[in-house]
Structure 1
C-alpha cells in the first residue's frame, strides 16, 4: 500500500490532510478507500498505450501518437453543410469517459449495440459528472467528434500489423436538431465496429469505476491509471521507463521535457492515489514499474463478467 493510503488507514483523513501532500491527492485517495462501489469497466489495450489529446486542437488537425508497439491516428470528421465543416478530433476527459462507457457496456452485455440516453446519463451520474448545462454540452460535443472522426490503431505483432484503419463506431451517437445544441438528442443505441469489438474482446483492460470516478476530470491521470492497470500486473521484473519515452506517449502537448517531467510526477501521484496496490519508483532518469497486482482481482473480474456483483472494497 502506498504512503498516502497508509497515512489514511493509520491516522484518518483529518490527520492526513496535515501532511505535506497535495490535498487533492488526499481527497481522491480517501474517497476511493471509502467507496463501496464495485463496478468494473473495460477498455481496449490500445487505449492504455496511446490516447487522445488533452486539449482542443485546430478543427482540421489530425492527431497521432507513436509508441514502440502502437500507433494511434485520429482524423477529424466532417459535418455536412455548404461547405462541409471539419469539427475536430475528440479530446479531454469527457471523450475518454464516453469511450470507456461504450467499451465497458459492450463487454458487459456481449453486444456491439450499446444503449445510450438514460443509460449514459446514469453512468455519468455515477461518476459524479453533471448532466445539465455546460457539462452536457461538452458531452454532446465530444460524442459528435467521436462519431464523425476516424480513429485507427496500428498494432505491431512481431513483423505484422494488427488492427488498422478502422473506425470505432459503425453508427453515430447523436441526432442533429434544427437549432443549437439544446435541440440535439442522443439516439437509443450506438454500434461499435465489428473489428474493434473483436479486438476489445481479445485485449480488454479491466479497471475500477470507483477509481475512475475520483480522477474523472483529469485526462492525463486517466491515461496514466489505465496504462498502469495494463502494464504492472504482467511484469516479471522491475522495468525502467525513460522520461523521453514517457513524454513520447503522454506528453505531446509539452514543448520542454523538464515541464513534462514536473507535471507527470504530480499526475502519477494522483493516478496512484486510486491504485493502492501499484508499485512505481520515480528517479532522475524516469520511472521504474514494479510487478504489482492488477487493480481488479481475477476473482472479482470473473464475477463482473458473468453478471454477478463483486464484493465491496475493505
Structure 2
C-alpha cells in the first residue's frame, strides 16, 4: 500500500484517482494523511485476536468466535421490565460498538481509573472520531452502550499447549438515562442508516460506567495502541477496524515472515460470510482500507492467504508511553 500513499504525497488525490486504485482506498488514505489531529487509543489485546459480530444477531443469541489462539464467547445481558419476564438486549455489534469499546478502554488507561464518564464525554470523543453525535447516530450509540454494559464475555486462551480462561463483565456498574430507537449495520460491517428492524430500548443511554476489575487489569497488562486518525478514517467499516487492530497487534512483534491461511482468516474475520470465496473478496476490500491507514504495514496477499512481514507499529513506543503518562 506504500504506492497509494506515495502517489497522494507526490500528485494529490485527483491525480491518484487516475491510477488503478479503489476510490474508497484513495479517499481513506488521503483523509488519513491529511489528518493533523494526533491522538492514541487503546484496546485489550484479546479484542485484536477475536472481535464482536459485524451485524445484528437475534437478541437472545450468544456470539462465539474460534481462532487459533482464542475462543471468544459473548453472552447477551437482560433488562428487567415493569411487568413480565426480563428481556435479552442482544450482544454488541458493528462499528459503533467497537468505537465505544475503544473509548472506554482508552479513557480508563489514560486516567488509570475504572470509572469512565459517557454522556457528553462520549459524544465529544465520537465527534472527534468523525461520528456526528445526533439523530440516528446517537440512537445507535445508545443501543450499543447498553449492550456492552449488560453482556458477559469469556476469552478462552489456548497456545503452546497451555490454556486459560478469562470470564468477566466489561462493566460492573452503570447509570442509565433516556429512551430511544436504534438502527443497525449491514452484513459487511458497514454503517447502515436503516436496519429494517429497529427495536425500542426502555433503558436508554448511559451516563457513567465502572469497568470490571478483571477487565481493567487485563487491559492494563495487555494494551494495544492504535492511531486515532486511522480509526477516524475507517470508522464506519467494522471489518476494516478489526483488521487494522489485528495488524497493529501482530506486525511489530514478528521476527520473520508469517503466513496466515484463508481458512484461519475466515475463522477470525468471516462471521456472517459463509462461502470462502465470498469472504476472500470482502476481506481483501477491508484489508485494503486497513492498509490505507497503516502505511508502514507490510502485508502480501497470495493464493493461500496472507504473508505478514515485520513492520513498525502504528504508534511508536515513545508516543504510547506519553499517552499513558498524561
Q: Sort the TM-score into its range (normalised by shorter chain).
A: over 0.9
Further displaced range: 221-230 or 72-81: 72-81
Please list the CA deviations of residues 66-89 of structure 1 after superposition, one character each: whole Å capped at 9, or x if unmatched: 112111100111111212111211
Aligned residue number for residue 100 of structure 2: 98
Aligned residue number for residue 252 of structure 1: 271
TM-score by length of 2: 0.90
Q: SS where residue 207 of structure 1 aligns?
A: strand
Aligned match for 2:250, one of 215, 231, 252: 231
The unaligned stretches of length 5 or more in structure 1 are 308-314
Tell me, in whole angstroms, the C-alpha distance in 1 between the residues paired with 2:206 and 2:170. Answer: 18
Contact 2:143/2:205 (8 A) holds in 1: no
Confirm whether residue 156 of structure 1 aligns to residue 158 of structure 2.
Answer: yes
Distance 1:183 1:302, change over 3 A: closer
Please list the CA deviations of residues 137-187 of structure 1 after superposition, one character each: whole Å capped at 9, or x if unmatched: 100011111111111212235444445221111113633559966983432
CA RMSD of aligned residues (A): 1.8
Aligned residue number for residue 215 of structure 1: 234
Contact 1:144/1:172 (8 A) holds in 2: no
Confirm whether residue 186 of structure 1 aligns to residue 219 of structure 2.
Answer: no
Aligned residue number for residue 86 of structure 1: 88
Tell me, in whole angstroms, the C-alpha distance in 2 between the residues paired with 1:185 and 1:231. Answer: 34
The unaligned stretches of length 5 or more in structure 2 are 182-199
Aligned match for 2:140, one of 138, 152, 161: 138
1:36 to partner: Cα distance = 1.0
Tell me, in whole angstroms, the C-alpha distance in 2 between the residues paired with 1:185 and 1:61. Answer: 22
Confirm whether residue 168 of structure 1 aligns to residue 170 of structure 2.
Answer: yes
Aligned residue number for residue 74 of structure 1: 74
TM-score by length of 1: 0.93
Tell me, in whole angstroms, the C-alpha distance in 2 between the residues paired with 1:159 and 1:193. Answer: 29
Contact 2:177/2:206 (8 A) holds in 1: yes
Aligned pair count? 306
Please list the CA deviations of residues 113-137 of structure 1 after superposition, one character each: whole Å capped at 9, or x if unmatched: 1111121111000011011111111
Q: SS where residue 313 of structure 2 aligns?
A: coil
Contact 1:29/1:274 (8 A) holds in 2: yes
Contact 2:139/2:180 (8 A) holds in 1: no
- 1:45-56 matches, within 5 Å, as 45-56=45-56
Distance 1:183 1:240, change over 3 A: closer
Q: Provide runs of 4+ in structure 1 moved above 6 Å.
A: none
Tell me, in whole angstroms, the C-alpha distance in 2 between the residues paired with 1:168 and 1:60. Answer: 18
Tell me, in whole angstroms, the C-alpha distance in 2 between the residues paired with 1:248 and 1:173. Answer: 36
